[in-house]
Amino acid sequence: MNHHIPFIQFRDYIPGLQQQIEEAVLRVVQSKHFILGQEVQRFENEFATFLSREVNVVGTGNGFDALVIALKAVGVGASDEVIIPSNSYMATVNAVLHIGARPVFAEPDVYTYNLTAGAAEAMVTSQTKAILPVHLYGQTCDMAPIKQLAAKHHLKVIEDAAQAHGAQYRGMQAGTLGDAAAFSFYPTKNLGALGDGGAVVSGLPAVADFARKYRNYGQQQKYVGEIVGVNSRLDEMQAAVLRAKLEHLDECNTERQRLASVYLQELRHIGDLILPYTAPGCGHVYHIFNIRTKHRDALQQWLAEHGIETDIHYPVPVHLQPAYRFLQYTKGDFPVAEELAQTSLSIPLYPGLTAQEQERVIAAISKFYRKL
Ligand SMILES: *Cc1c(COP(=O)(O)O)cnc(C)c1O
C-alpha cells in the first residue's frame, strides 16, 4: 500500500521527453559518428546560448575533468593554493590535488552553506592563486564580494557549477560568473546525461582554446600536438541527449522550485528543523533539498521505515576525510562544516515527484516530531 519513495528517480515529468532522448540516441547510432561531431558542437553552442553571455562551452568527459581543465586553463599549477569550501564534494578537492595544487579549506556560511568572501579572505596567503566557490545544492554563491576579493589579491575565480545548471545570480547564469566554470552532466544532476559528461565554460577565449585542445590530446588540428593534453571528450551520444534535455531544463528547475516551496511551506515550524535559506540575489535550483535537525539519524531511520529514501550530503566534511590527512586538518577546524555533516538530511525532490508522495514525506516528518 505504502509504496517506496526513492530519493531520486528518473521520471517522465516532461511528456514525450523520454521518446526524444531515445530518438537522439538512435540518431547518433545511425549517423555512425561518435566522437567530436555535430552533436557535441551543437550542444556546446546551445548551452552557451542558454547561459546567455559571451561564453564558450567545451564539452568534457565528466565534471571532475572539467574542474581539472578549468584550473589548468586559468593557470593554476603545482604548489599554488586554491581556496575551497570545507563542505563540498570530494571531486572539488581531488581536482585541485590532481594538478599538484594545495586545497585550502574555508568555512561555509551557516545559512546558505556556501563559501563567502569573508571566509575565503581569512585563508588568503601569498601562495593563493584561485578561489573555487561551489554553488552547493543548486544555490549560487554571493559572487560579487568573492570577485572583489579576487580582484584585490589578483586571484582567479573558478566556479564549481556541477549542482547549479540554470541557477541565477543577480540575473546572470551560474557558470558565467568567474574566469572559468565546470559543469557535470552526471545522470542525477539537474542537466544529466545517460552516463558521464561535463563542460568547461569561460568567457575568456584563451581559456576555452586551452580546454578545447587539452581535452583532445592537445590537438586543435588533427595530428598537431600543441600541448600535452588528455582524452576527456564529451561523446556524441551524450551531447545528443543533453541537447534534448537542455530544452526543458528551465521547466524542470521551475518544478523543483515549486516542490521546494511546498516543503518550505509545510515543514515550517516543525520541531528543530532548519530549512534551506536562499540569500537575496542568489538563485536556487534545488539540486538537493537539504533539511537539518539534531535528530538526523533517527529521522532518517524513521523515514526509511516509512518507505522514504533519503541521502546525506555529505556525512563527512572533506577536511576530516582519511584521504586528506596529509593536509593536517583536524576535528574542530571548521565547526560549521562539521555541524552540517552531522545534521543534514536530503529528502526526495525531483521533477515527477507526485503531490501524494510529497504529502507522505511531509506527513512522515511531522509524525516523527509528534512522537519525539
Ligand atoms: C557531481 C559533482 C562534481 C563531479 O562531477 P562528475 O561528473 O561526477 O565528475 C564536482 N563537484 C560537485 C560539487 C559535484 O556535485
Nearest to 196 by CA among 65, 94, 18: 65
∠ CA 85-138-72, rounded to 5°: 50
The pLDDT assigned to 132 comes to 98
The pLDDT assigned to 53 comes to 72
For the stretch 171-229, pLDDT in tens is 999 999 999 999 999 999 999 999 999 999 999 999 999 999 999 999 999 999 999 99
**Ligand 1 centroid to residue 268 C-alpha, Å:** 30
Amino acid type, 181: A
Amino acid type, 88: S
**Ligand 1 centroid to residue 162 C-alpha, Å:** 5
Domain at 17-246, CATH class: alpha beta
Topology at the third CATH level for domain 249-371: Aspartate Aminotransferase, domain 1 (3.90.1150)
Q: Is the CB of 190 under 6 A from ligand 1?
A: no
Q: Is the CB of 134 under 6 A from ligand 1?
A: yes
Other CB atoms within 10 A of residue 11 CB: 14
- Paired sense of beta strands 198-202 and 56-60, if any: antiparallel
Q: Is the CB of 176 under 6 A from ligand 1?
A: no
The secondary element (H helix, E strand) that includes residue 243 is helix 236-246
Cβ distance 208 to 69 under 8 Å? Answer: no
For the residues of 320-333, what is the DSSP string, one character each? G-GGGGGG---TTS
Percent helix, strand, coil in the chain, to 5, is 40, 15, 45
Which residue ranges of the chain lie beneath pLDDT 50? none
Q: Closest ligand 1 atom to the C-alpha of 189?
A: 1
User: What CA–CA distance (Å, rounded) separates 296 from 362?
Assistant: 15
Q: pTM here?
A: 0.98
The secondary element (H helix, E strand) that includes residue 80 is none
For the stretch 36-45, pLDDT in tens is 999 999 999 9
Amino acid type, 313: H
Say what percent of the chain tops pLDDT 70: 100
User: What CA–CA distance (Å, rounded) separates 61 from 185?
Assistant: 9
Cβ distance 192 to 198 under 8 Å? Answer: no
The secondary element (H helix, E strand) that includes residue 63 is helix 63-73
- Dig out the grid coordinates for 311 from the structure: 541521502
Q: Which of 67, 69, 88, 89 to mutate to test ligand 1, by most ligand atoms within 8 A of the CB atom?
A: 89
Query: Per-domain residue ranges for the chain?
Result: 17-246, 249-371
Q: Which of 134, 184, 188, 242 to mutate to test ligand 1, by most ligand atoms within 8 A of the CB atom?
A: 184
Q: Is the CB of 314 under 6 A from ligand 1?
A: no
**Ligand 1 centroid to residue 89 C-alpha, Å:** 7
The pLDDT assigned to 52 comes to 86
